[in-house]
Amino acid sequence: MRKIILAIIILVIGLTGFTQQPADKIIGQWESIDGEVKLKFEIFKQDGKYFGKLLWASNMFEIDSKIPKKDNNNPNKSLRDRSRQGIVNITNLKFEKGEYSGGKLYNPEDGDIYSLNAKLRTENELHFRGYLGISLLGKTMKFKRIQ
């Protein structure tokens, strides 16, 4: 009996180290599964909030399909010379009541900044909702986990 209890304790302690906080389940790489423009993001956590780095977009490259476009439409003139690839354009998502809210999405295609909410539908399906003004008038994009 002691061996069984000891085995259970060791198992519970071992599994505790591998569990992720519920909010951190958004961390990883995601690929869009709908929409005209295909996207890949890496979501990471910094200072208790969640951010997204743009890894790839189907409209990210010049005509040669090799050179990433510049961030020409950025409202900040000093950033217009940077590459679109690798920019952190999802910022400040906070996790509350099972949803991510209060974030911002910078769209390098038009230079606009949208309000952003997100929700994990399953462990491998993520929905982003970007909007100007009120969420009801926004657009939802679906993503699948790739890593």
18-52 pLDDT tens trace:
445 689 999 999 999 988 899 999 999 999 999 99
Supply the pTM of this predicted model. Answer: 0.81
Question: Which residues in 27-63 are b (16+ Cβ under 10 Å) and which e?
Answer: ebbbbbeeeeeebbbbbbeeeebbbbbbbebeebeee
Q: What is the CB neighbour count within 10 angstroms for residue 8? A: 10
Is the residue at 12 inside a domain?
A: no
Is the residue at 15 inside a domain?
A: no
92-145, pLDDT tens digit by residue?
Answer: 999 998 889 999 999 999 999 999 999 999 999 999 999 998 888 899 999 999
Is the residue at 10 inside a domain?
A: no
90-101, pLDDT tens digit by residue?
Answer: 999 999 988 899
What's the CA gap between 131 and 106, in Å, rounded?
A: 11
The dihedral region occupied by 40, where left means phi > 0, alpha psi between -120 and 50, and beta the remainder, is beta
What's the CA gap between 98 and 21, in Å, rounded?
A: 12
Q: How many domains does the chain have?
A: 1
Is the residue at 121 inside a domain?
A: yes
Residue 112 structural domain? 22-145
Is the residue at 16 inside a domain?
A: no
> Is the sign of the CA dihedral 67, 68, 74, 76 positive or negative?
negative
Is the residue at 91 inside a domain?
A: yes
